[in-house]
């Protein structure tokens, strides 16, 4: 049988059916932003290797109302000091001793399975995308000369202790300077428009 709208004469207005198709989003849930890789240098001011693998993790930030959660996949640890993402010590998450490095040696970046966990962020921040939220995610290192853990930061005019890059970016091997792995990194320090993590 013909549809009811076929029982009337054609008026050439093309307004009998108006449809809008939108992506499905569950009720009371806002979409998450993209996942990025964070590569950290835990003592950049006093170290000389600058391998940016002291802790490596992929993160995306999920917003639900005014609450933000960091959904984290821990990939590697090259640091030999107690290091925390939120309140979670990264060596403990991998089940290894503090002086044990995980997934940072040449050809062994996937030797140990990554660890998935979440961290709740303060509800006072504004996070329009994952890059905006990196400094809101507390990453701390514990050194013997300080009574309290020291938070890693990204401050203008100082070596970055955390770098956010696409998840396709490979972190340097243990003791491999990021300048050797990514020669354009030095140009990015002078010009932030340089895409230093693309090697081709």
What tens-digit pLDDT sequence spans the chain (200 residues)?
555 555 556 666 655 554 444 444 444 444 445 788 999 988 644 555 688 999 999 998 887 776 778 899 999 999 889 999 999 999 999 999 999 999 999 999 999 999 999 998 876 666 665 556 666 788 999 988 888 888 887 766 666 788 888 999 999 999 898 889 999 988 887 787 889 887 65
Q: Residues 6 or more apart from 130 whose CB is under 8 A from it?
A: 33, 34, 35, 36, 59, 60, 61, 164
pLDDT of residue 112: 96
pLDDT of residue 110: 93
For β-strands 67-76 and 55-64, DSSP reports them as: antiparallel
Up-side HSE of residue 94: CA atoms within 13 Å toward CB? 29
Is residue 86 a contact partner of residue 127, using CB atoms and an 8 Å limit? no
- Residue 167: burial class (beta carbons within 10 Å; 0-12, 13-18, 19+): middle
How does DSSP assign the chain, residue by residue?
---GGGGS---S---S----------TT-PPP---EEEEE-TTTTT-S---S-SEEEEEEEEEETTEEEEEEEEEEB---S-EEETTEEHHHHHT--TT--BS-STT-TTSS--EEEEEEEPTT---SSHHHHGGGS-EEE--TT-SSPEEP---TTS--SEEEE-TTPPPPPTT--HHHH-TTHHHHHH-TT--TT---
Report d(CA 85, CA 174) in Å as an integer. Answer: 21
Q: pTM here?
A: 0.77
């Amino acid at each position: 049988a013909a549809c009811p709208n076929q029982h009337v004469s054609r008026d050439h207005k093309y307004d009998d059916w108006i449809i809008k198709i939108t992506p499905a989003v569950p009720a009371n849930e806002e979409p998450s932003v993209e996942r990025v890789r964070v590569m950290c240098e835990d003592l950049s001011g006093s170290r000389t290797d600058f391998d940016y693998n002291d802790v490596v993790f992929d993160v995306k930030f999920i917003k639900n109302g005014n609450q933000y959660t960091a959904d984290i996949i821990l990939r590697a640890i090259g640091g030999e000091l107690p290091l925390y993402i939120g309140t979670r010590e990264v060596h403990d998450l991998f089940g290894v001793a503090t002086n044990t490095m995980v997934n940072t040696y040449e050809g062994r970046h996937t030797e140990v399975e990554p660890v998935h966990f979440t961290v709740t962020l303060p509800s006072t921040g504004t996070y329009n995308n994952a890059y905006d939220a990196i400094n809101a995610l507390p990453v701390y290192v514990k050194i013997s000369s300080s009574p309290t853990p020291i938070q890693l930061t990204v401050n203008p005019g100082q070596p970055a202790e955390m770098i956010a890059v696409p998840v396709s970016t490979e972190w340097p091997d243990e003791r491999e300077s990021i300048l050797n792995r990514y020669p354009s990194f030095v140009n990015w320090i002078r010009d932030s428009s340089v895409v230093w993590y693309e090697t081709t």
